[in-house]
Chains A and B, each alone.
Chain A
Amino acid sequence: MKSSRLIWMIVAGVYAVPYLLLILLGSLWLWEHGFLWQFLGGLAALTAAAWATIHYLRKSQLSTAETWRFPAPYGRSPLDERAWETVERLAGKVEQGEIPLDSPEAAKALLLQLLEEVARVYHADSRQAMLQVPLPDVLRLLEQVTADLRTLVSEKIPGSHVLTIGDWLRIRDWWQVSQWAWFLYRLASIPLAPGVSLLRELRFFLLGRATQASLEEAARRLKGYAVRRAGHYAIELYAGRIAPDDRELGRFVSPIGRRTSDQAESLRKAHEAACAEPFRVLVVGQKKAGKSSLINALIGSHQAPVDAVPCTEGTFAYRLPKQGEPPADGVAFRTTTAGPTAGEIAADVYVLDTPGYGDDAPDADFERLLPEIRASDVIIVVCSARNAGRKADREFLALMRRQFSQNPQEIQPVVLVVGTCLDQLRPLTEWNPPYDLENPVGPKATAMAVFLQTLADDLAVPRDRVCGVSAAADREWNVRSGLRSLLERAIREADPRRRRRHLYGYRETSVRGKLFRQVAALPTDLFRLVRNHLGK
């Protein structure tokens, strides 16, 4: 080991010889050619300029009071700021040299003073403020200091990751040796070359002054840094912010935080769950009012049977294609021009066809339809323009209103009225859709507007809940545009009802199911109980 080091050193010396020779030869050349004085003068001038610059820089840096800030992941409260002021004050004193920091004893005293003052900020009432700190925090602080130190050393000191402590000690030894060698060389060279040596000594003196100034500055700043760093740790310690184990902390959620996230999660799940329940749009109306034709036009395919004589016997459900989804016959929806379209309707929408109710007294038919009505979110009352008899429709709606006013815990379904067969209005020969029913122009549009207004008046529904369409296959108009957007609006409005229906439906079935399971489990539990008792 030793021999190899020696060999390395000899190699380095041999390598350095030409450069040393270069300096000597260069000086010799300058002296022989008479440029030596000029060179020395230039050298002195440059050194002086460098010294002056360093001096100036140190002055200006001192004047701009530097503020040290350490990362504060938890932010700083006004109390923290007060404690920091204390730290800054001490650091300032150290930097100014008012507090000496040149021995371990002095450092210890300063550290104690620092801790005492910071602790007093946080525990003003306590007599022994400095001790108001749990032991695990102190240990954790030590861990943190060590970790920070490690980062500092490994990142800021060149070669720290390769050089061992032994290397460092050796470097220190070598440094001392080289200092001696240097001193001997300087001493020996004076008699040999007095001029050059004197000049050199002069340069070294000037350089030394400059270097010493910057070194002092660096030391001063280092001391300030150390005090602030220590103060920072003290603040974190006494403020109770020394974090426990990161892994432990990562697993921890505060009770209120957990409550909040649980709540949000349950809401999200409830929303997701509620989407499972489809919307039910019940289409009712007198016989041959055109319920099935309307549904066919709405879903865009001929699925509901339509006949000249009443043919719908039970209640049948048809799925309404979603916005943008092509209907079964492949004809895309016309883009809606009116009505808010914000927010896609997530749940499925089913349109239900029902048998027509009688024109005379719809009571019996209403009773028959009541379960379907109570389980629906939107009710579409279909009235044909061919049939002016509205008594049954009005009575049906009155029965429905009475039904829901007797059950105030239920939300009423949204009621829409659709006037069909608008093409059958006079004049019969005219059919040039689209018609503007808001500002009717011409006899047909006027007849339509009058009809829809009469419809709204007869059935006592707001006019904006009434939509006129023609659902005939060859004269389809306003079904997939006007009615569709009106229906979507109604569906959005009926969403609370659907959710309630979903929830109460679940409660009802689950309560019943649980009860059943409990009752079913009762004999087994009893048996087990008796057996255990006998076993004893």
Chain B
Amino acid sequence: MSILDGIWKKPGLSPTELDEAEQAVAKLRDRLPVLTFRLVGKTQSGKTSIIHALTGRSREEIGDGFRPCTKNTRVYRFPSDEQYFVQFVDTPGLGDVEHTDSPVEPSGDRQLEDRCDCLVAVMKAMDPGQDAVRRAVAEARACEPNRPLVVVQTCLHEGYPWRDPRHILPYPFRGESFPATVPSDLARALQLQRSWFPGSHVRFAAVDFTLPEDGYEPVLYGLEALWDAIEEALPWGLREAIIGNPELYRDFADVRFRKAHPIVVWYALAAGTAAAVPVPLADLPAVIAVPLLMTKRLAAIYEQPWNSERVLEIMGALGFRFATRYLARQLTRWIPFVGSVASAGFAAGATYALGAAMCRYYGDLRRGAAPDPKVLRRLYQAELKQSREWLRLRVREGILRDRA
């Protein structure tokens, strides 16, 4: 109750109170709804490139195209290993030579082995030797045939009959049949691979993620189609979670914002999860700690000084009123399940909106402009409306999974 006392007595948090809050947030980590993608593909088929393309991460870990980077099961957690709402599980390099000097260590995370929200089969478009991938996909789908599957066909340029670095534009690989602009060999190779995966739960995407020095334009050819396929296969709103609503952030979406946005999403999900715990008052430290710690992280990203008093002041100004909301939530919580979900969605949406507004605030400070309270409030309100729905669904999913 110390945090609550502190808020009533004096605005701001003491260092011990901060530690307490960090611990409370850390406890939430394992209960957050996390999306798991399982990538299946031969070594060097472009799995890592897909992760980099989807998350917008740097390409530093992509090798020169030969030495497989992934030796054992590897997990890419996004946005960071500590705070993540999406993870890509990379299976051991299929078809790769087992090197005796790197023994495969037994995976300690059994849960990770089993979890899979979406299967992503990655194969080079011009490589018909995909027995291992087909076998792995069949095994993964044997127990759950309706599990979403996205087949990503990579390295399209290997099927171009021309030698100059030039992609087919506009992108022609949507739909069942391809237009005449697609070279027939490439089209047949793609159709052959697609014929291996019949069923309505399969989405296909043809992509070519090259290096800038390769000369192909765009570098991430087919990323839109891949996102569409993923969103279709798994209507989670992952894209928005990763890159945000482009319409709202057009004027201040920069490098820092791209980095900050997924973190805001994580804190929003954490706040929702904390609020969903059906024990009254137990979540209070977390409910208050999560937004505060979020603003602390955002300040670090924007390289701005962080002051809990100031933040609470802003929160108050934005209408983020703890007391009233807290009481309202406690009432709804007594109605089992629905109530908790409703309060969770509310907490998540509010936290997300606050995060968005704080990004704007810190962004303005960094640019040397005075933050306009009106703009912040408008943004906060807009996000509160927009984001609540999908965040509510995500939180609800997490709760459902927890109960299952």
A residues near B (Cβ < 8 Å) are: 286-288, 307-310, 356, 358-361, 386-392, 394, 424-429, 431, 447, 450-451, 454, 458, 474-475
Contact = CB atoms under 8 A, between A and B. Distances in A.
B110 interface: no
Nearest to B213: A427
B193 to A, nearest CB: 9
B44 interface: yes
B214 A426 contact: yes
Residue of B128, B130, B157, B189 most packed against chain A (CB within 10 A): B128
Q: Give the dominant DSSP class at B's interface.
A: loop
Contact of B129 (A387, A425, A428, A454): A387
A474 B163 CA distance: 10
Given A428-B214, A429-B215, A310 B128 contact: yes
Nearest to B44: A388
Contacts of B185: 307-308
B251 interface: no
B65 A392 contact: no
A450 B66 CA distance: 9
Interface stretch (B5-13, B89-97, B281-289, B338-346): B89-97
Residue of B95, B157, B211 most packed against chain A (CB within 10 A): B95
Interface residues of B, number: 40
Given A386-B126, A388-B43, A425-B65, A359 B96 contact: no
Q: Which 3 A-B pairs have the closest CB atoms?
A: A389-B95, A388-B44, A308-B185
A388 B43 CA distance: 6
Contacts, number: 105
A430 to B, nearest CB: 10
B189 A390 contact: no
Contact of A288 (B68, B93, B127): B127
Interface string B157-192: 111000101000000000000000000111011001
A387 B124 contact: yes
Contact of A454 (B66, B157, B213, B214): B66
A451 B131 CA distance: 24
B28 to A, nearest CB: 40
B66 A388 contact: yes
Contact of B94 (A287, A389, A394): A389
Nearest to B164: A429
B41 to A, nearest CB: 10
19 contacts: A308-B188, A309-B188, A309-B189, A309-B192, A359-B95, A359-B129, A360-B132, A388-B42, A389-B42, A389-B96, A389-B132, A390-B97, A391-B96, A426-B213, A428-B165, A429-B213, A447-B64, A450-B64, A450-B66
A474 B98 CA distance: 35
Contacts of A475: 163
A326 to B, nearest CB: 28
Nearest to B211: A426
Q: Give the dominant DSSP class at A's interface.
A: loop
A12 to B, nearest CB: 111
A458 B100 CA distance: 11
B378 interface: no
A428 B132 CA distance: 28
Contacts of B165: 428-429
A428 B211 CA distance: 10
Contacts of B189: 308-309
Given A389-B94, A389-B129, 7 more contacts: A308-B126, A389-B43, A389-B132, A390-B95, A391-B95, A426-B65, A428-B215
B131 A389 contact: no
Interface of B: 42-44, 64-68, 93-98, 124, 126-132, 135, 155, 157-159, 163, 165, 184-186, 188-189, 192, 210-211, 213-215
Contacts of B215: 428-429
B192 to A, nearest CB: 5
Contacts of A287: 127-129
A417 to B, nearest CB: 13
A431 B214 CA distance: 12
A196 to B, nearest CB: 123
Given A360-B132, A426-B64, A387 B97 contact: no
B311 to A, nearest CB: 48
Contacts of B130: 359
Contact of A387 (B42, B64, B186, B214): B42
A387 B127 contact: yes
Contacts of A389: 42-44, 93-96, 129, 132
Contacts of A428: 157, 165, 210, 214-215
Nearest to A394: B97
B172 to A, nearest CB: 17
Contacts of B124: 386-387
Contacts of B213: 426-427, 429
A391 B98 contact: yes
B134 to A, nearest CB: 8
Nearest to A386: B158
B188 A360 contact: no
B214 A286 contact: no
A450 B67 CA distance: 10
B98 A360 contact: no
B67 A454 contact: yes
Given A307-B185, A386-B158, A387-B129, A429 B95 contact: no
A308 B211 CA distance: 24
Contacts of A451: 66
A308 B67 CA distance: 26
A361 B157 CA distance: 28
A308 B98 contact: no
Residue of B65, B159, B163 most packed against chain A (CB within 10 A): B65
B132 A359 contact: yes
A390 B128 contact: no
Nearest to A365: B131
B188 A392 contact: no
Contacts of A392: 95, 129
Nearest to A427: B213
A388 B158 contact: no
A286 B192 CA distance: 17
A507 B165 CA distance: 59
B135 A360 contact: yes
Contacts of B64: 426, 447, 450
B129 A358 contact: yes
A356 B165 CA distance: 29
